[in-house]
């Protein structure tokens, strides 16, 4: 199709579906099919359903690009027993890669895809309220986790808390989505079942049937942290020179590599991290890539099953960290820190980690932010780090302008 302009501007306000980075990606609307699952086998069941569904389709694809043909948007809960994991197959998808733009539609029945695009509604006045784990409880949880790590129970746990933003009218997911995409063009802006965010972290992608990639983030500084200069180069040096952040990052990389290696014929893991700088925080970052086993290449959803949760959002050892998170947070994270993205009919696609996000419910947005906690973490510093991360969604909700 001819260039329709900005992909986000095509979206209706009724449950928009989105996975866009730097103007490229996929947007969708309508619902041709849906699958939901709960439990430790939710990835396997979703994968089996999607394979069966896609195999029954008569597909005419003249584009032959990643994301053309049948696509399901995916969003999975962090915890196995938490409800809400889903695959959503839109009736219409518009995709862009490079200078090519295409549209994919379901046809052959009497349900005509409808797109009624109303003007984007600004949020208006917002008041904030404690979520299920307020800041005071989060500080105590971090302190308790640090004590138990120093006692040798585990090495790392990624603890989070939530915050409620309450508006005077139902929130328009496109306003938040557009604000995040504009402010964080190097992140993947997403919207699935009104979970809206912009993540800098790629859990796992699969292209060409065998190529697998991941971007691991762990270790964070921010410009207004006590004693930290605002200069990006200085922040990068401090991160790279920080034993605490380097240790936290290495745990996350090691956990991902250990989960992927049995599925790959080749896996390239960098020896040292890079630094990515966003407008609110800087992270240590490692890009891992590999080639899947040629005899039985795992699909994207089965790869997600193997690697989720990495130590970046769970901890080390995985089982002990997930149990500690449930105990100390005392809340259901829902789909925060779970895999989010899209999968195509060949089992390729992209799944990020649902970070810098909010779950929208009428006039209420439930925001989340978390930090990796290790034995030498300071509870007050972790509280400030979480606040710096929450600023991404808060500013986008409020329509805050600036550099």
Angle at 206 between CA 202 and CA 212, to 5 degrees: 75
Strands 33-37 and 17-21: unpaired
Q: Compute the distance between CA of residue 323 and CA of residue 338 in angstroms, rounded to an integer.
A: 16
Nearest to 161 by CA among 182, 201, 133: 133
CA distances, 63 to each of 7, 20, 71, 197, 363 (Å): 18, 19, 14, 28, 40
Q: Compute the distance between CA of residue 168 and CA of residue 364 in angstroms, rounded to an integer.
A: 9
- DSSP annotation string for 2-22: ---S-GGGG--SSS-EEEEET
- Token pair listed for 401: 């302008």
Nearest to 158 by CA among 398, 400, 374, 378: 374
Q: Compute the distance between CA of residue 403 and CA of residue 398 in angstroms, rounded to an integer.
A: 15
Nearest to 112 by CA among 94, 91, 93, 95: 91
> Is 338 in contact with 355 (CB distance < 8 Å)?
no
- Token pair listed for 87: 């695959």
Q: Across 69-152, where does the E strand assignment appear?
A: 71-75, 85-89, 92-97, 100-105, 126-130
First to last CA, the chain: 34
CA distances, 155 to each of 88, 146, 342, 367 (Å): 37, 9, 32, 27
Q: Catalytic site residues? A: 156, 201
> Which class for 365: exposed (0-12), middle (13-18), buried (19 or more C-beta within 10 A)?
buried
Beta bridge partners of 368: 162
């Amino acid at each position: 199709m001819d260039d329709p302009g900005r992909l986000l501007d095509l979206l209706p306000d009724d449950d928009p579906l989105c996975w866009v980075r730097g103007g490229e990606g996929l947007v969708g609307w309508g619902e041709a099919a849906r699958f939901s699952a709960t439990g430790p086998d939710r990835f396997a069941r979703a994968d089996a359903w999607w394979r069966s569904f896609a195999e029954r389709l008569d597909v005419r694809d003249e584009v032959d690009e990643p994301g053309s043909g049948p696509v399901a948007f995916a969003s999975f809960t962090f915890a196995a027993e938490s409800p809400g994991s889903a695959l959503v197959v839109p009736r219409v998808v518009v995709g862009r890669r490079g200078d090519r733009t295409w549209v994919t539609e379901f046809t052959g029945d009497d349900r005509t895809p409808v797109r009624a695009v109303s003007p984007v509604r600004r949020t208006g006045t917002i008041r904030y309220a404690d979520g299920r784990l307020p800041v005071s409880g989060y500080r105590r949880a971090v302190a308790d986790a640090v004590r138990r790590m120093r006692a040798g129970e585990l090495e790392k746990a990624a603890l989070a808390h939530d915050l409620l933003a309450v508006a005077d009218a139902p929130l328009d997911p496109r306003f938040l989505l557009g604000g995040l995409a504009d402010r964080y063009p190097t992140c993947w802006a997403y919207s699935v079942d009104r979970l809206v965010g912009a993540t800098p972290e790629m859990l796992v992608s699969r292209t060409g049937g065998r190529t697998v990639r991941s971007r691991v983030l762990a270790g964070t500084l921010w410009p207004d942290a006590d004693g930290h200069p605002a200069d990006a180069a200085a922040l990068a040096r401090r991160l790279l020179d920080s034993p605490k952040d380097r240790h936290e990052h290495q745990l996350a990389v090691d956990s991902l590599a250990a989960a992927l290696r049995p599925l790959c014929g080749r896996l390239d893991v960098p020896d040292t991290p890079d630094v990515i700088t966003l407008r609110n925080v800087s992270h240590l970052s490692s890009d891992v890539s590999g080639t899947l086993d040629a005899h039985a290449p795992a699909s994207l959803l089965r790869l997600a099953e193997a690697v989720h949760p990495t130590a970046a959002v769970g901890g080390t050892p995985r089982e002990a960290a997930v149990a500690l998170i449930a105990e100390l947070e005392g809340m259901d994270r829902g789909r925060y820190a779970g895999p989010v993205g899209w999968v195509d009919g060949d089992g390729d696609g992209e799944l990020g980690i649902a970070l810098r996000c909010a779950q929208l419910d009428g006039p209420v947005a439930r925001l989340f932010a978390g930090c990796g906690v290790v034995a030498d973490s300071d509870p007050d510093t972790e509280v400030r780090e979480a606040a710096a991360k929450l600023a991404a969604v808060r500013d986008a909700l409020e329509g805050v302008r600036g550099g």
